[in-house]
């Protein structure tokens, strides 16, 4: 049996190596277990915003240096996968101190106890934000789970030159929008006003939000899911009808074909949000200066509301040993004028803080919209009209179901109502499976 | 195995009596079908590569607006943009990938060699059980293990370190399996016995006699592991949060997923993907001669 001992010795060595490395790692990280209240704090921050390291440098050299709070950026990829990663890290107690989180992901993080209530440390920041934006970080409670960073108020983008060429006017209501689509089909049968795409659930959620939908609400201790409420049904029927009659295209966005359609004038409008200039710059580079932005069409002439698509916040995790320091940084990052100007310049974000929306950084329109000098003035006015949103703990499930059910419905040009029912049922089923009580 | 088949069928196509019966023209037509199939297969594999090569030469303006297989004019710009992106973090990712894949594959090959040899040569109680468990490991997709491995390594405070990516790779069930099969075929029991008679210790027999015989098989294990680690995504994704430690797969992913208000850096990702393939190609070319040795020795031994 000489091999047995050999083998065992090898295993023992491997374990020894592992343990050695463990001790080393433990030595390296033990220095940030210092006083939890004040004193030097080293914070880690998971974010996907480009150039965030440069913004954080401002903190580390300025206010952070005075308060002995050093922040290290660990750049991440955005999206639902990051939420999973945060929750996995939280499960192991290895979460960073600060995370960037999209608004619709906050309830998921809160219900998993991954982000901390910082009402005590950062509650006074409320005044810097529009009510509808701030409410997304409180989830309608007294707690504050994050500081809003950027927002994505929805707008209507259209090719000014082609609208003129086809004799179209900019729609102000959704009825006019449908008429415009039909009229365009008569003028130029191979050109589409826009497409209904099921590959980004945020668009549909924003449209439903504009119509007044409240997808998740609480009733006592129970969740109530209203994905198939009247408002959402109205939105689904509207777009389903347009797709069914062929008035608009049914191909997904963000594909090379979609880029080409925008770039060559096969699609001449896009329902999008304030960040659209960035997307259009890569998708339709040859049409710079030919687009214009207008408010989203309304459901009735007297209304003036928009939905939001995208946007994110800065949250402090429950794993953080320096909650107060982390909250201080999060507040500075999203309310300090210098920080916000740097965020706009380096990260290209549209700030949630209302004072920053008209600051120096937004005096000039985006280069792609040089033909619309008042782009950001109008954007700030539109941002004020953002409808409140209501997110729940399993937005990811609703979004996934949306993609599957609506993509199939759009492809077959079939009834969107059935797809909506599927979305409602699966979301409720998942909530119940997760152990939440759901009100009927 | 497949190479053996090819070697056998190559002369077969020309000289077997079956095909000799027909006229020469017919023989050619028979050869046409496999040739066509192979050409189609090659096209299927190479078209995406060609796409990457050509797309990497296009500037952001040209990428989606010009004809797919029309070379663009932006290759030099793409390269310098990639080089300049966040002070050349791309090369850091490339270095990390090389470290994970190189060291990871080396360690895993070493473990595979030792365990494969032990399983093939020694007879001890529980040998088949150990081997069966390893075989079960072959059937288990590594993706499933990523999260449990993360939670385990978190207990040892090893997450977000180079070790967190290297350690889970060290034991490769497939590598052990290959090494065992290869050792059983390439290292005759008589040779080991002769070594013992001459008074060599077990370790000496392994390193001096068996290991050189196993080299071609181990090269295969090394290459398999290297490619697997180079392309690995989920394990480093879960383990690492510091993007200075990211391998290239993760780095390129962060370039794509920049949040809704920033466009994906397609041109950088495509150019980065093209450059990331080059080390693999170089490795295969460099190690090719060991592989042909593999074929020869395999054929002689069996």
Residues B167, B170, B171, B177, Cα dihedral to 10°: 160
Q: Name the residue with tokens 């090959």.
A: B109
Q: Name the residue with tokens 């050509």.
A: B54
From chain B, the residues in CB contact with A77 under 8 A are 250, 253-254, 256-257
Q: Look at residue B122 in the predicted model and tell me its pLDDT.
A: 92
For residue A313, pLDDT beyond 90: yes
State whether B202 and A349 contact (CB < 8 Å): no
Mean pLDDT for the stretch of residues A378-397: 91
How close A219 comes to chain B (CA, Å)? 32
* A188 domain-assigned: yes
Report which of A317, A305, A264, A250 is spatially closest to residue A44, judged by C-alpha positions: A317
Q: At what angle do helices B173-186 and B89-121 cross, to 10 degrees?
A: 50
State whether B202 and A2 contact (CB < 8 Å): yes
Q: Regarding predicted confidence, which is higher, B16 or A160?
A: A160
Per the structure, the complete domain to which residue B93 belongs is given by 88-301
Q: At what angle do helices A395-412 and A80-91 cross, to 10 degrees?
A: 150
State whether A310 and B259 contact (CB < 8 Å): yes
How close A220 comes to chain B (CA, Å)? 35
Residues A202 and A245 in one domain: yes
From chain B, the residues in CB contact with A94 under 8 A are 154, 159-160
Q: What is the mean pLDDT of chain A?
A: 88
Residues A239 and A265 in one domain: yes
| pLDDT grade for B299, boundaries at 50, 70 and 90 | very low
Q: Look at residue B27 in the predicted model and tell me its pLDDT.
A: 54
Per the structure, the complete domain to which residue A205 belongs is given by 152-307+367-439
Residues A169 and A297 in one domain: yes
- Which of A362, A381, A399 is the last residue in one of the domains? A362
State whether A92 and B64 contact (CB < 8 Å): no
Mapped onto helix, strand or coil, the DSSP state of residue A157 is strand
pLDDT digits 0-9 by tens, A394-416: 998 999 999 999 999 998 988 89
Q: Which of residues 373-412 of A touch B (CB under 8 A)?
A: none
Share of residues in chain A with pLDDT > 70 (%): 91
Residues A286 and A254 in one domain: yes
From chain A, the residues in CB contact with B161 under 8 A are 21, 25
- Domains: count for chain A: 2
Q: Regarding predicted confidence, which is higher, A384 or B6?
A: A384
pLDDT digits 0-9 by tens, A413-437: 888 999 999 999 999 999 999 999 9
* A21 domain-assigned: no
A199 touches B: beta carbon within 8 Å: no
Rounded distance between C-alpha atoms, residue A313 and residue B64, angstroms: 32
Which one of B86, B238, B254 has the shortest CB-CB distance to A77? B254
pLDDT digits 0-9 by tens, B115-163: 999 999 999 999 999 999 988 988 888 888 888 999 999 999 999 999 9
For residue A181, pLDDT beyond 70: yes
Q: What ipTM does this complex have?
A: 0.77
For residue A227, pLDDT beyond 70: yes
Q: How far apart are the first and last CA of chain B?
A: 11
Residues A407 and A429 in one domain: yes
Contact at 8 Å (CB) between B160 and B242? yes
Q: Regarding predicted confidence, which is higher, A42 or B27?
A: A42
Residues A382 and A333 in one domain: no
* A116 domain-assigned: yes
pLDDT digits 0-9 by tens, A10-56: 333 333 333 333 333 333 333 343 344 456 899 999 999 988 999 99
Which of A12, A30, A78, A272 is the best residue to mutate to test the B interface, defined by the most B CB atoms within 10 Å of its own CB?
A78
Widest Cα–Cα separation across chain A = 91
* B118 domain-assigned: yes
* B277 domain-assigned: yes
The CATH number for A45's domain is 3.40.190.10
Rounded distance between C-alpha atoms, residue B257 and residue B271, angstroms: 16
Residues A285 and A329 in one domain: no
A140 touches B: beta carbon within 8 Å: no
Mean pLDDT for the stretch of residues A150-164: 95
* B63 domain-assigned: no
Report which of A395, A378, A380 is spatially closest to residue A431, judged by C-alpha positions: A395
Q: Look at residue B145 in the predicted model and tell me its pLDDT.
A: 87
From chain A, the residues in CB contact with B156 under 8 A are 18, 21-22, 25
Residues A181 and A253 in one domain: yes
Mean pLDDT for the stretch of residues B262-267: 75
How close B27 comes to chain A (CA, Å)? 46
Tokens of A365: 């329109």
* A340 domain-assigned: yes
| pLDDT grade for B264, boundaries at 50, 70 and 90 | low
| pLDDT grade for A226, boundaries at 50, 70 and 90 | very high
How close B245 comes to chain A (CA, Å)? 10
Contact at 8 Å (CB) between B50 and A242? no
Report which of A3, A37, A124, A111 is spatially closest to residue A323, judged by C-alpha positions: A37
Contact at 8 Å (CB) between A236 and A416? yes
- Domains: count for chain B: 1
Residues A221 and A282 in one domain: yes
Residues 6+ apart with CB under 8 A from A199: A252, A253, A254, A403, A407
Residues A181 and A266 in one domain: yes
Pairing of strands A216-219, A222-225: antiparallel
Mapped onto helix, strand or coil, the DSSP state of residue B252 is helix
* B168 domain-assigned: yes
* B23 domain-assigned: no
From chain A, the residues in CB contact with B262 under 8 A are 49-50, 275, 278, 347-348
* A10 domain-assigned: no
Which of B260, B263, B268 is the best residue to mutate to test the A interface, defined by the most A CB atoms within 10 Å of its own CB?
B260
From chain A, the residues in CB contact with B238 under 8 A are 85, 88
| pLDDT grade for B261, boundaries at 50, 70 and 90 | low
State whether A94 and B160 contact (CB < 8 Å): yes
Contact at 8 Å (CB) between A45 and A96? yes
B167 touches A: beta carbon within 8 Å: yes
Mean pLDDT for the stretch of residues A246-268: 91
Q: Name the least confident of A1-10, A191-200, A236-245, B124-133.
A: A1-10
Contact at 8 Å (CB) between A160 and A168? no
Residues A209 and A355 in one domain: no
Give the 3-state secondary structure percentages of chain B, helix then strand then coil, rounded to 5.
Answer: 80, 0, 20
Residues A414 and A291 in one domain: yes
Q: Look at residue A278 in the predicted model and tell me its pLDDT.
A: 87
Mean pLDDT for the stretch of residues B64-84: 86
* A346 domain-assigned: yes
The CATH number for B191's domain is 1.10.3720.10
| pLDDT grade for B297, boundaries at 50, 70 and 90 | low
Per-position b or e across B12-21, b if 16+ CB within 10 A of its CB = eeeeeeeeee
């Amino acid at each position: 049996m000489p091999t047995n001992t050999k083998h065992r010795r090898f295993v023992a060595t491997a374990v020894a190596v592992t343990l050695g490395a463990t001790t080393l790692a433990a030595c390296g990280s033990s220095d940030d277990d210092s006083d939890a209240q004040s004193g030097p704090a080293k914070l880690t921050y998971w974010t996907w915003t480009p150039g965030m390291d440069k913004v954080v440098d401002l903190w580390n050299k300025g206010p952070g240096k005075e308060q002995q709070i050093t922040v290290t950026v660990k750049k991440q990829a955005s999206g639902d996968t990051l939420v999973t990663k945060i929750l996995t890290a939280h499960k192991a107690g290895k979460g960073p101190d600060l995370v960037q989180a999209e608004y619709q992901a906050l309830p998921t993080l809160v219900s998993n106890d991954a982000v901390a209530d910082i009402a005590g440390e950062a509650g006074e920041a409320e005044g810097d934000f529009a009510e509808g934006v701030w409410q997304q970080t409180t989830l309608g409670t007294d707690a504050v789970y994050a500081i809003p960073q950027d927002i994505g108020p929805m707008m209507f983008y259209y090719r000014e030159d082609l609208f003129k060429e086809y004799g179209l006017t900019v729609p102000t209501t959704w009825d006019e929008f449908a008429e415009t689509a039909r009229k365009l089909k008569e003028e130029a049968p191979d050109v589409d006003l826009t497409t209904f795409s099921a590959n980004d659930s945020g668009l549909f959620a924003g449209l439903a939000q504009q119509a007044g939908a409240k997808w998740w609400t609480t009733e006592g201790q129970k969740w109530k899911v209203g994905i198939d409420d009247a408002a959402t049904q109205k939105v689904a029927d509207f777009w389903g009808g347009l797709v069914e009659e062929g008035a608009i295209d049914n191909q997904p966005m963000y594909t090379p074909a979609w880029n080409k359609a925008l770039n060559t004038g096969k699609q001449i409008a896009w329902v999008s949000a304030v960040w659209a200039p960035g997307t259009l710059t890569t998708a339709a580079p040859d049409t710079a200066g030919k687009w214009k932005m207008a408010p989203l069409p309304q459901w009735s002439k007297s209304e003036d509301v928009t939905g939001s698509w995208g946007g994110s916040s800065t949250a402090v995790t429950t794993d953080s040993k320096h909650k107060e320091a982390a909250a201080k940084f999060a507040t500075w990052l999203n309310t300090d004028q210098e920080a916000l100007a740097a965020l706009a310049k380096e990260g290209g974000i549209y700030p949630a803080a209302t004072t920053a929306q008209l600051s120096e950084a937004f005096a000039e329109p985006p280069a792609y919209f040089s033909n619309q000098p008042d782009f950001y003035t109008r954007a700030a006015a539109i941002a004020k009209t953002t409808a409140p949103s209501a997110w729940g703990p399993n937005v990811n499930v609703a979004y996934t179901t949306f993609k599957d059910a609506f993509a199939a419905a759009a492809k077959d040009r079939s009834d969107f109502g059935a797809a909506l029912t599927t979305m409602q049922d699966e979301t409720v089923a998942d909530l119940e499976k997760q152990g939440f009580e759901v009100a009927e | 195995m497949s190479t053996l088949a090819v070697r056998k069928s190559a002369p077969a196509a020309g000289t077997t009596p079956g095909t000799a019966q027909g006229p020469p023209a017919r023989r050619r037509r028979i050869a046409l079908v496999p040739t066509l199939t192979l050409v189609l297969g090659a096209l299927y594999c190479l078209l995406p590569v060609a796409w990457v090569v050509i797309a990497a030469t296009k500037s952001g303006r040209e990428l989606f607006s010009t004809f797919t297989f029309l070379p663009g004019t932006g290759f030099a710009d793409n390269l310098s943009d990639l080089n300049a992106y966040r002070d050349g973090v791309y090369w850091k990712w490339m270095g990390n990938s090389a470290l994970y894949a190189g060291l990871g594959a080396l360690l895993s090959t070493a473990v595979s060699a030792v365990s494969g040899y032990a399983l093939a040569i020694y007879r001890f109680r529980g040998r088949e059980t150990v081997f069966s468990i390893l075989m079960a490991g072959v059937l288990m997709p590594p993706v499933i293990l990523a999260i449990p491995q993360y939670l385990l390594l978190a207990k040892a405070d090893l997450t977000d370190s180079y070790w967190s990516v290297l350690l889970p790779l060290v034991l490769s069930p497939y590598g052990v399996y290959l090494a065992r099969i290869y050792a059983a075929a390439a290292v005759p029991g008589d040779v080991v016995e002769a070594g013992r008679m001459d008074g060599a210790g077990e370790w000496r027999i392994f390193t001096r006699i068996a290991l050189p015989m196993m080299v071609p098989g181990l090269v295969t294990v090394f290459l398999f592991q290297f490619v697997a680690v180079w392309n690995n995504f989920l394990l480093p994704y879960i383990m690492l949060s510091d993007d200075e430690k990211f391998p290239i797969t993760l780095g390129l992913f962060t370039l794509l997923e920049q949040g809704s208000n920033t466009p994906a850096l397609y041109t950088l990702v495509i150019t980065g993907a093209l450059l990331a393939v080059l080390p693999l190609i170089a490795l295969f070319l460099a190690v090719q001669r060991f592989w042909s040795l593999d074929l020869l020795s395999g054929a002689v031994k069996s």
